[in-house]
């Protein structure tokens, strides 16, 4: 729908200057939803009236009225669009993850509603990344996230296993993906690998027995990692990413009940860290492409 052509926004001042009113926000949403001109979501007709007082497109053929937010994560929202824009801006750019409690206080939005808004934005991030398959040279590893039992560590605890993949470009990491699994069996890993990795990718892992059956069709490069030092030499980026994600979950969100949306948020931002001025627009477009039910399905699944 919207490949490339993202508009840049350098800082919060510019956000406030460009979107000073609700009308300015609605006008921008309409221009981003239908950049080539309006096309009726019901009948596909391209001919329309624009009702400027209500910021609606009305189809000339079937009279369907399309608003800026219908069919998006912002559908029927009671929250000012300026607050949505601020949330999207801040979530897209925050290095360590945005405190939703702080956001709700700063913008005078009830905490539960702010949590629900952030959940929808996270699902838009997850939906956008699920469109892409990782390829080329990858590091793949498993880790356990969550509170866990007292004194227990590593495999065999009640923490949740997470599959972590990092694609490499030159000397450094390019994209990241993290997926909560119900177990670290080959069959569970295989489902995620099949959905998220291109066949023929070169995949570096540790010596876990689950990998070979799960990585059929890949160029698998396992290494036996006897010590933490060996692990950080053979699979450096995946370990750095796991440590960073755990630090953010502990520090900013103080542990979370639903893990997957936070991991998806972390990976969305990591994979786009070199596009800082475009991030607001990229995330806004992802929110426009994601349906109004966003946030609910993910919470059930996580
Ligand atoms: Zn129509």
Ligand 1 center–CA 58 separation, angstroms: 8
Ligand 1 center–CA 153 separation, angstroms: 58
Strand pairing partners for 140? 165
Mind listing the pLDDT tens digit for each residue in 106-141? 999 999 999 999 999 999 999 999 999 999 999 999
Share of the chain above pLDDT 70, in %: 90
Q: What CA–CA distance (Å, rounded) separates 288 from 6?
A: 14
Mind listing the pLDDT tens digit for each residue in 4-54? 578 999 999 999 999 999 989 998 998 898 888 888 989 999 999 888 887
Ligand 1 center–CA 34 separation, angstroms: 14
Q: What CA–CA distance (Å, rounded) separates 73 from 71?
A: 7
**Second-level CATH architecture of 138-257:** 2-Layer Sandwich (3.30)
pTM exceeding 0.75? yes
Decide if 86 contacts 102 (C-beta within 8 A).
Answer: no
Ligand 1 center–CA 64 separation, angstroms: 5
Q: Which strands form 48-51's sheet, in the order they lie side by side?
A: 48-51, 56-59, 65-66
User: How is residue 81 written in tokens?
Assistant: 């669009």
245: phi then psi, degrees, rounded to nearest 5:
-65, -40
Decide if 161 contacts 178 (C-beta within 8 A).
Answer: no
Tokens 């390019």 correspond to what residue? 174
Instruction: Return the pLDDT at 36.
Output: 85
Mind listing the pLDDT tens digit for each residue in 66-96? 888 988 999 989 999 999 999 999 999 998 8
The dihedral through the CA atoms of 86, 173, 139, 201 has a sign that is positive
Q: Are strands 137-145 and 160-169 parallel, antiparallel or unpaired?
A: antiparallel
Q: pLDDT-derived band of residue 187, with 50, 70 and 90 as boundaries?
A: very high
Ligand 1 center–CA 7 separation, angstroms: 29
Ligand 1 center–CA 38 separation, angstroms: 10
Ligand 1 center–CA 50 separation, angstroms: 13
């Amino acid at each position: 729908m919207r490949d490339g052509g993202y508009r840049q926004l350098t800082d919060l001042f510019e956000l406030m200057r460009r979107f000073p009113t609700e009308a300015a926000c609605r006008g921008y949403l309409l221009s981003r939803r239908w950049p080539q001109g309006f096309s009726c979501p019901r009948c596909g007709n391209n001919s329309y009236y624009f009702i400027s007082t209500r910021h609606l497109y009305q189809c000339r053929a079937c009279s369907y009225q399309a608003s800026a937010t219908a069919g998006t994560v912002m559908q029927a929202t009671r929250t000012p669009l300026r607050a949505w824009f601020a949330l999207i801006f801040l979530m897209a750019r925050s290095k360590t993850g945005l405190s939703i409690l702080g956001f709700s206080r700063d913008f005078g939005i009830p905490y539960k509603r702010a949590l629900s808004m952030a959940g929808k934005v996270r699902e838009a991030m997850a939906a956008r990344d699920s469109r892409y398959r990782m390829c080329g040279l990858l590091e793949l590893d498993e880790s356990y996230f969550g509170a866990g039992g007292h004194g227990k560590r590593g495999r065999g605890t009640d923490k949740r296993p997470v599959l972590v993949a990092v694609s490499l470009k030159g000397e450094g990491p390019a994209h990241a993906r993290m997926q909560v699994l119900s177990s670290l069996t080959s069959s569970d890993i295989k489902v995620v690998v099949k959905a998220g990795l291109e066949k023929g990718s070169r995949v570096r892992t540790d010596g876990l027995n689950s990998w070979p059956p799960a990585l059929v069709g890949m160029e698998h490069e396992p290494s036996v990692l006897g010590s933490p030092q060996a692990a950080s030499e053979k699979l450096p980026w995946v370990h750095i990413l796991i440590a960073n994600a755990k630090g953010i979950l502990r520090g900013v969100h103080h542990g979370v009940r639903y893990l997957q949306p936070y991991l998806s948020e972390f990976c969305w931002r990591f994979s786009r860290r070199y596009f800082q001025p475009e991030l607001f627009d990229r995330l806004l477009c992802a929110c426009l492409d994601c349906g109004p039910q966003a946030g609910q399905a993910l919470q059930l699944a996580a």
